[in-house]
């Protein structure tokens, strides 16, 4: 490598270890890396997608079907591959679902770009064509999208179910879609303009292992997985006046480090009495506000625990900050940060109950709002995957409620948009036209992979789908369970429009970012860039392994 630089660019001074890869080599290298990532998640797409088991360097195991989880846990150590992981992360942040689609389409856009590069089409033409196609595709998605009645719970449940298919929640999707839609309903508020907005701050997910997933439930208020600090405290407080406090109920440390040296027993006793008085006063202050329950974010001194128990006050220490903040919403309370200023106004009213089998407090507020989705499952793996899939479903339903647009799933949109893009391509001049066509082909990856993962013939499926769309059936998609081409909106495979638009936008941006690079200058040796732990990706790090990549796709 260094030879190449010596001749033409004598001014660049790089270390002996440095490597430079230019032009087509750089593009090929990057495309291979990006495609390897896309390949890694493709088999999880759709309801018949398989799960991945990820084992990290500490040996801890995650079993998931969730695109973004797979990619973030994979510990990828290749700069280009990391850019693709960012696509998944952006998609997750912006839309909450559709991560696998976004990454798989990115990979396909790059694969098709490689074919164009091989036909000597300049990367800038491809980039421009992809950009045009992406804009147009999003317009078409909007055109295909159905305006839905966001109070129609039936449709919202279908949207939740579509996002959950293939995930841990699928077997009880009836129950979970109902829980999700119910939960969102509880935290939806109408603005003065009459728009619905969903405030997910008022919704908390709690997980509990040991029971079956069907025991999951939606609860009004909060669930606090904590024990009282003292055995003599009440477990159930029906008429609760609850104080939330984020300072410790302990002896105040002197500001400066003072050393107390005690010479005689009397002095020691005096000192201890002083401490006791201080704690007694704090408990007195709590009692004076009328509080009979305290959730403290910090510690509670043993002696204070004893005083509180004697007053019949239920106290919990080291409550998680997020729990305290959620309790504030649930109770409509204020968080006390200094007991000297605490008053009855700070308290929240409600009730505290406790389920013996769960060992958790249920806190219900009188004036606040907020609901908890308590997810249960036999083991941590089950609950974790359930939580991921419920999170996706919540995001998707929340978004649909705010956005009001939905799409037919099962590859219907992708096939229709591809068809329309091919028409549109005719109006695009120059080589960009070929890029627009490649973009259309790339979108059709979605129905192809859905079929493939469902054990169906992907070519036959695509042919049938295209024919249906040529015939004007805009909502014709694949039902992976029967293999039939049908109106998927009608049959209840429904997706939110926003997530699809976002997936198209982020896939295009990522593909174009990769295509724009024509020069890789690495401080170290590129061939050791791959992660040793990952055989799949190992070959990608080295330029020598490039030939092998083609076989994988």
When CB distances are held under 5 to 8 angstroms depending on the partner's kind, the choice from Mg ion, ligand ADP, none that residue 30 binds is none
Q: Minimum Å distance from CB 512 to Mg ion?
A: 24
Residues 435-454 that bind Mg ion (CB under 5 A): none
* Per rule CB under 5 A, count of chain residues that contact Mg ion: 2
When CB distances are held under 5 to 8 angstroms depending on the partner's kind, the choice from Mg ion, ligand ADP, none that residue 409 binds is ligand ADP
Q: Minimum Å distance from CB 192 to ligand ADP?
A: 34
Among 177, 152, 175, smallest CA distance to 164 is for 177
Q: Minimum Å distance from CB 74 to ligand ADP?
A: 15
Catalytic residue among 44, 62, 64, 66: 66
Q: Directed axis angle between helix 432-443 and helix 412-425, to 10°?
A: 170
When CB distances are held under 5 to 8 angstroms depending on the partner's kind, the choice from ligand ADP, Mg ion, none that residue 123 binds is none
When CB distances are held under 5 to 8 angstroms depending on the partner's kind, the choice from ligand ADP, Mg ion, none that residue 207 binds is none
Concatenating the DSSP letter of every residue in 529-545 gives: -S-TT-HHHHHHHSGGG
**Radius of gyration (Cα) for the chain, nearest Å?**
29
Query: Which residues bind to ligand ADP, rule: CB under 6 A?
Result: 44-47, 49, 67, 97-101, 162, 165-166, 409-410, 446, 450, 478-481, 493, 495
| 100 is an active site residue | yes
Q: Minimum Å distance from CB 244 to ligand ADP?
A: 38
When CB distances are held under 5 to 8 angstroms depending on the partner's kind, the choice from ligand ADP, Mg ion, none that residue 46 binds is ligand ADP
Residue closest to ligand ADP, measured at CB: 409
Hey, which residues does 208 pair with through a beta bridge? 376
Q: Minimum Å distance from CB 503 to ligand ADP?
A: 7
Q: Where are the beta strands (DSSP E) in 369-447?
A: 371-377, 405-408
Catalytic residue among 62, 69, 80, 100: 100
Between 330 and 493, name the residue whose CB sits nearer to Mg ion.
493
Among 336, 529, 409, 429, smallest CA distance to 164 is for 409
**Dmax of the chain from CA atoms?**
99
Q: Which own/partner pairs from 415-418 qualify as long-range (CB within 8 Å, at least 24 positions apart)?
A: 415/443, 415/444, 415/447, 415/462, 415/465, 415/466, 415/468, 415/469, 415/476, 415/477, 416/140, 416/144, 416/469, 416/474, 416/475, 417/137, 417/140, 417/141, 417/144, 417/443, 418/443, 418/444
Between 42 and 128, name the residue whose CB sits nearer to ligand ADP.
42
| Cβ atoms 407, 399 nearer than 8 A | no
Q: Is 97 in the site for Mg ion (CB under 5 A)?
A: yes
When CB distances are held under 5 to 8 angstroms depending on the partner's kind, the choice from Mg ion, ligand ADP, none that residue 43 binds is none
Q: Minimum Å distance from CB 107 to ligand ADP?
A: 13
Q: Please, is 331 exposed, middle or buried when counting C-beta atoms within 10 Å of its C-beta (0-12, 13-18, 19+)?
A: buried
Question: What letter would DSSP give residue 97?
Answer: S
Only segment of 25-33, 81-89, 122-130, 156-164 that touches Mg ion (CB under 5 A): 156-164
Residue closest to Mg ion, measured at CB: 97
How far from the centroid of its chain's Cα atoms is residue 19's Cα? Answer: 36
User: What residues are labeled active site?
Assistant: 66, 99-100, 392
Where does this chain bind Mg ion (CB under 5 A)? Answer: 97, 163
């Amino acid at each position: 490598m260094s030879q190449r630089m010596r001749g033409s660019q004598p001014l660049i001074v790089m270390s002996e270890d440095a490597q430079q890869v230019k032009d087509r080599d750089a593009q090929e290298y990057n495309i291979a890396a990006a495609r390897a990532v896309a390949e890694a998640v493709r088999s999880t797409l759709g309801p018949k997608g398989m799960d991945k088991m990820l084992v990290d360097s500490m040996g801890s195991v995650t079993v998931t079907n969730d695109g973004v989880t797979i990619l973030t846990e994979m510990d990828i150590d290749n700069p280009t591959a990391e850019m693709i992981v960012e696509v998944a992360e952006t998609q997750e942040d912006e839309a909450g679902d559709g991560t696998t689609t976004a990454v798989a389409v990115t990979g396909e856009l790059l694969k098709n770009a490689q074919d164009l590069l091989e036909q000597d089409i300049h990367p800038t033409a491809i980039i421009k064509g992809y950009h045009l196609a992406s804009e147009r595709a999003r317009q078409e998605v909007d055109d295909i999208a159905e305006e839905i009645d966001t109070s129609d719970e039936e449709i919202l449940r279908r949207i939740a179910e579509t996002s959950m298919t293939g995930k841990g929640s699928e077997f009880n999707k009836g129950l979970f879609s109902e829980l999700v839609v119910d939960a969102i309903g509880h935290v939806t508020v109408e603005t003065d303009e009459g728009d619905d907005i969903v405030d997910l701050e008022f919704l908390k997910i709690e997980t509990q292992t040991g029971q079956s997933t069907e025991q999951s439930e939606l609860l009004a208020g909060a669930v606090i997985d904590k024990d009282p600090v003292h055995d003599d405290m009440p477990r159930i407080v029906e008429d609760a006046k609850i104080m939330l406090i984020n300072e410790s109920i302990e002896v105040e440390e002197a500001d400066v480090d003072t050393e107390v040296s005690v010479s005689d027993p009397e002095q020691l006793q005096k000192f201890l009495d002083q401490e006791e008085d201080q704690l007694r006063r704090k408990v007195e202050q709590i009692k004076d506000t009328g509080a009979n329950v305290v959730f403290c974010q910090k510690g509670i001194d043993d002696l204070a625990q004893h005083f509180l128990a004697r007053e019949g006050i239920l106290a919990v220490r080291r409550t998680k900050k997020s729990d305290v903040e959620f309790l504030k919403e649930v109770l409509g309370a204020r968080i006390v940060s200094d007991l000297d200023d605490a008053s009855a106004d700070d308290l929240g009213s409600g009730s505290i109950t406790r389920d013996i089998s769960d060992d958790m407090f249920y806190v219900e507020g009188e004036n606040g709002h907020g609901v908890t989705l308590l997810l249960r499952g036999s083991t941590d793996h089950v609950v974790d995957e359930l939580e991921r899939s419920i999170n996706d479903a919540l995001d998707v339903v929340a978004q649909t409620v705010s956005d009001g647009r939905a799409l037919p799933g099962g590859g219907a949109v992708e096939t229709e948009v591809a068809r329309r893009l091919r028409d549109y391509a005719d109006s695009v001049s120059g080589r960009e036209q070929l890029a627009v066509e490649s973009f259309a082909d790339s979108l059709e990856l979605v129905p192809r992979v859905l079929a493939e993962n469902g054990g169906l013939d992907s070519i036959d499926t695509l042919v049938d789908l295209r024919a249906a769309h040529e015939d004007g059936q805009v909502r014709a998609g694949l039902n992976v369970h029967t293999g039939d081409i049908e109106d998927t909106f009608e049959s209840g495979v429904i997706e939110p429009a926003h997530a699809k638009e976002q997936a198209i936008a982020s896939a295009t941006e990522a593909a174009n970012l990769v295509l724009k690079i024509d020069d890789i200058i690495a401080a170290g040796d590129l061939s050791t860039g791959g992660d040793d732990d990952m055989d799949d990706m190992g070959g990608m790090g080295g330029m020598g392994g490039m030939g092998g990549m083609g076989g994988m796709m």
